[in-house]
Structure 1
Amino acid sequence: MGDRSWWGWGRTDCALSDDECVALGARLPGLSSTPLPIPRIEQLVVPQARITPPAALAPRFSAAPADRVGHTYGKAYRDVVRALHGDLACAPDLVAYPQTDAEIVDVLDWAASRRVAVIPYGGGSSVVGGVEYRPASGGADHCGVISLDLTAMDRVLEVDRVSRAARIQAGARGPVLEDQLRPHGLTLRFYPQSYEFSTLGGWLATRAGGHYATLYTHIDDLVESMRVVTPVGTGESWRLPASGAGPSPDRLFLGSEGILGVITEAWMRLQERPRHKASATVAFEDMAAAMQAVRAVAQSGRHPANCRLLDPGEALLSGVARNGEAMLVVGVESADCPVEGQLAELLTIAREHGGARCGDGDGADRSAEAWRTSFLRAPYLRDGLARMGAIVETFETACTWDRALDLYEAVRASVGAAVEEITGSPGIINCRFTHVYPDGPALYFTVIAVGRRGQELVMWDDVKIAAMEILARHHATVTHHHGVGRDHRPGYDRQRPEPFAMALRAAKAALDPHGVLNPGVLVD
């Protein structure tokens, strides 16, 4: 297994080679004929560290260039481009690797006393500028920046088999926590696209969405209680299946993106590991009819594990379809009983709306597997396109069913027109439904266009602005599961009610009076 990539997504051994980048770029006329080279860390100019940790904490800090470079950015397109160009002006001065809550308290106390910013890093997979430091516009910068990495705190501390729950440290990445739950026959059953690289704490702090498309789609649904270290004290909520005792303390920190405190552990609801699985793909000649079929599935109460609708462009890009069809990938699973009957019921719903099942019907449809492979490979392809000078943007949203078709068509038309105006050539705009609810879908858009070397970030920013504007105009959320970070902040400010913004600012002032935790995210 290769090392974690410092500049792009995932592992180094999965990144596209130069030849693969050239072959991929040839499919989009107008791109460069050669890929941007990947700088070696020893070639990079890393700013000199401005701060030195106190002696008592020094063993938990690193100022090594590899650590600082690897913690400068998340994994958004603009992060990849800046890394490829060697732009490390905002690299953290230090990376902290605490091993206990007490050490986190000491780090926060020292940072507050020195006005040093602390950026909770999670697994570093943010695609919205959530784990980087950006100097305040017109304001006083911090005296230094610490990237707080909790991956040394990655243990399943306790398993309650009776209540089917576990106490898990926040630094545990997906595979690490699942490996520890497997001997108990249990699973968290939470698999975001970043599962291999992201952490439980990051999922909680961003209200992440998992792979499963219905029912328990967000990490919120799986939380029993949380422990959080703030600059003014440590708090832990009670373990309860449910409670009506006033506003939930966990809800204050779920989605707070590290601005109020550092989530250090949580009791999480678990499930028996599934033993029965089946999947199928269904083709639709008409996208509107496909949307009606997915709505009927979502409102049927059958809760498929997978229910991904790919529009014709996305289906073609994923290798699932080649004849202009919209494709529905549907899957079911169970820990204790066969699922073929449930799959048959879902296929009946799809057929009643004009869908036709693809493949040989053996319960292990090849198109479904092609989609899964494409889904996992997509971030690496994005990085390859970025090296060739393409602009690649993904943004996701959610709206109610009565507005879904209008939103889909408006984004394709308006963002498509903006892309052509910004880049001078038509782009590719595809869409898939990642999650579906009885009252609406989550739509995930991919934009690919020809950029100009040296102007990629300006073009990307303009495309991002155009996308957020159309979402706001249709009252669709600025993010369904990627988080707000710094990139979605303008859209988030428009979406939230002002009284709530006042309350959030007050909570920030109370819990982080020196303003050192992830400055610029959610509030000023």
Structure 2
Amino acid sequence: MTRSWWGWGTVEDAVRGAELDTLLARARTLVPGELTDHAPPAVGALGLPRPRANPPASLARLCSADPADRAGHAHGKAFRDVVRNLHGHLPRVPDLVARPRTEDDLVDLLDWCGREGIAAIPYGGGSSVVGGVEPRFDDGRAVVTLDLARLDRVLEVDPVSRAARIQAGVFGPHLEDQLRPHGLTLRHFPQSFQFSTLGGWLATRAAGHYATLHTHIDDFVESLRVVTPAGTSASRRLPGSGAGPSPDRLFLGSEGTLGIITEAWMRLRPRPRWRARTSVRFADWGAAVAATRAVAQSGLAPADCRLLDAAEALVNAGVAVGGGVLVLGFESADHPVGAALERAVELCRAHGGEPSADLARSSDDAGTAQDRGAGGDADAWRSSFLRMPYQRDALARHALIAETFETACTWDRFDALHQAVTEAARHAIRRATGAEGVVTCRFTHVYPDGPAPYFGVYAAGRWGSTVAQWDDIKTAVSEALSAHGGTITHHHAVGRDHRPWYDAQRPDPFAAALTAAKAALDPAGILNPGVLLPAPARATRAVPDRGREG
């Protein structure tokens, strides 16, 4: 399979044929405008600048100046990244892509970057949608992208404690393949699962498969090993500790600005044997939200509890409904879960929900590690969910604006936030495009005290202007999120795109502490400049080599 340099996933899995025809037909019913395809340019036509960095002979074997490598590592996978790639607009690309094979290789690469004042951007799977892996700074320094994909092994499994020591560069599918013979799973499945890494999940505090209870990767961490320019931090492996501020918490969510995560001990669980799934339709959106809150606060802890509003259900699952569809799923390695599903359905019925006909077929399913569908709305949504990034790219090629943004808020604030964000998005679409668009909402995760709403925007753009149009819409909705008590991101990270709102959200004393930590751990300011904190001025003096362990 061939990774796409300009868009999501692999070239072979791109939307084409009947799937493309169906997608474009659906798009024409939603937004006006011509739908002309624009093919991506060939890498050879990009005219990339010559590399400004020459590695020492001892590191040359780890470094690539191949144009396809450099172009493929220049951006993440957000809508604006894909569109800029389609236009061949890559004003800043890494000078080299380095692929360390060992932790010692990584130490040597960081020492070299520190001595030479070269910016170093850690890179997992490159699935960032917030400018997290992009060399977006103009201080003239060379840039090396540190791709950790060769650090991809499960090094040790502790079956007694149900944990494993895992290298950070492992992609989701390869990680699960290595755990499967032990009957264990990390059970962390973000939408980017196939093309993202453990280190990327940890560095961005990613959220995964579970919609309730254990939602963020933080919940699975026992300890971290992190290489920084000032030394290597290795926390003690423990089930829990009250010994001062957590060293792991310092690096979780640090997005490659404080150090580079190389290994982690991760909590695992037995592979599930019992599953039960269904979907529940609602005629009223308010009732659907109330039912979802009741399930979230019930203590039942479903694995899936994803509410789709009517527009989201229609656009991405082809399901016509008046108020919304709630997709419910339970699973366990220890016991049947049919009773838990039945109780959740009872809670939904109390709010006017009607379970779909697949409920009778969502029975307990023993002895398999593979998901078996319940049919109906739940399977339609799951199939669509996995294809969304590819479909987004196909729409972008046709000058349609198709992008998402997410947040989290407490239940008492949700109604006001939902209304404000929806109105802000619709007004911004009209200002940016001169036409109406579609705004959708779904809950990706729910907590007893609040949901994580995930909004979708679909609008007819103008080829050559869609990045600016999306930026205008993104700014408007980000302001609305901030003004109504939501977080600027629930699981997409901060990167460079969310920095203005992140700066406003975090407390000033914490910002000062983070700045001090950055100065202590990365004195030359080489690690991912501009993410979380302002990019420092280029270092004017060499930084001496440091020991392997600190």
TM-score when scaled to structure 2?
Answer: 0.93
Alignment of 1:446-457 (within 5 A): 446-457=456-467
Residue equivalent to 1:51? 53
Residue equivalent to 2:288? 290
Residue equivalent to 2:299? 301
Give every structure 1 segment of 4 or more consecutive aligned residues whose post-TM-superposition deviation is greater than 6 Å. Answer: none
Deviates more, 1:83-92 or 1:483-492: 83-92
Distance 2:529 2:321 in 1: 48
Render the CA deviation track for 1:307-351: whole Å, top value 9, x for unaligned.
000000001112252133300000000102111111101101111
Residue equivalent to 1:69? 71
Question: Any stretches of 5+ residues in structure 1 without a counterpart?
Answer: none
Match of 1:445 among 438, 446, 455: 455
Distance 2:236 2:123 in 1: 26
Distance 1:359 1:314 in 2: 21
Question: Any stretches of 5+ residues in structure 2 without a counterpart?
Answer: 363-373, 535-550
Matched residue type, 2:448: P
Render the CA deviation track for 1:495-519: whole Å, top value 9, x for unaligned.
0001100100111111001010000
SS at match of 1:393: strand
Matched residue type, 1:341: A
Residue equivalent to 1:13? 12
SS at match of 1:429: strand
SS at match of 2:9: coil
Distance 2:87 2:17 in 1: 16
Residue equivalent to 1:119? 121
Alignment of 1:332-347 (within 5 A): 332-347=330-345
8 Å CA contact 1:117, 1:518 repeated in 2: yes
Residue equivalent to 2:112? 110
Render the CA deviation track for 1:387-445: whole Å, top value 9, x for unaligned.
11111221000000001122112211121111112110011100000000000000000
1:3 aligns with 2:2: yes
Match of 1:253 among 242, 251, 254: 251
Residue equivalent to 2:411? 401
8 Å CA contact 1:314, 1:431 repeated in 2: yes
8 Å CA contact 2:40, 2:88 repeated in 1: no
8 Å CA contact 1:47, 1:88 repeated in 2: no
8 Å CA contact 1:25, 1:32 repeated in 2: no
Render the CA deviation track for 1:75-118: whole Å, top value 9, x for unaligned.
00010011111112211000000011111111111101111110
Residue equivalent to 1:383? 393
Residue equivalent to 1:169? 167
Q: 1:21 to 1:47 in 2, by over 3 A?
A: farther
Distance 1:134 1:19 in 2: 38
| Identity across matched positions, percent | 60
Distance 2:198 2:356 in 1: 37
Matched residue type, 1:217: T
Residue equivalent to 1:429? 439
Residue equivalent to 1:185? 183
Distance 2:41 2:34 in 1: 18
Matched residue type, 1:249: P
Render the CA deviation track for 1:279-332: whole Å, top value 9, x for unaligned.
000011111111111111111111000000000000111225213330000000
TM-score when scaled to structure 1?
Answer: 0.97
Render the CA deviation track for 1:454-504: whole Å, top value 9, x for unaligned.
111111110110011000110100000000000011110110001100100
1:232 aligns with 2:234: no
Distance 1:199 1:212 in 2: 18
SS at match of 1:234: strand
SS at match of 1:377: helix
Matched residue type, 2:57: A
1:215 aligns with 2:213: yes
Render the CA deviation track for 1:113-170: whole Å, top value 9, x for unaligned.
111110111100000000010114xxx332x101110010000000000100000000
SS at match of 1:386: helix
8 Å CA contact 2:288, 2:323 repeated in 1: no
Shift in Å, 1:45? 1.4
SS at match of 2:119: strand
Distance 1:456 1:319 in 2: 25
Residue equivalent to 2:42? 40
8 Å CA contact 2:224, 2:264 repeated in 1: yes
Distance 1:421 1:461 in 2: 12
Shift in Å, 1:23? 5.8
SS at match of 2:280: strand
Residue equivalent to 1:79? 81
Render the CA deviation track for 1:5-35: whole Å, top value 9, x for unaligned.
1111111111123886576345335433421
Matched residue type, 2:377: S
How many aligned residue pairs are there?
A: 519
Residue equivalent to 1:412? 422
Distance 1:322 1:346 in 2: 23
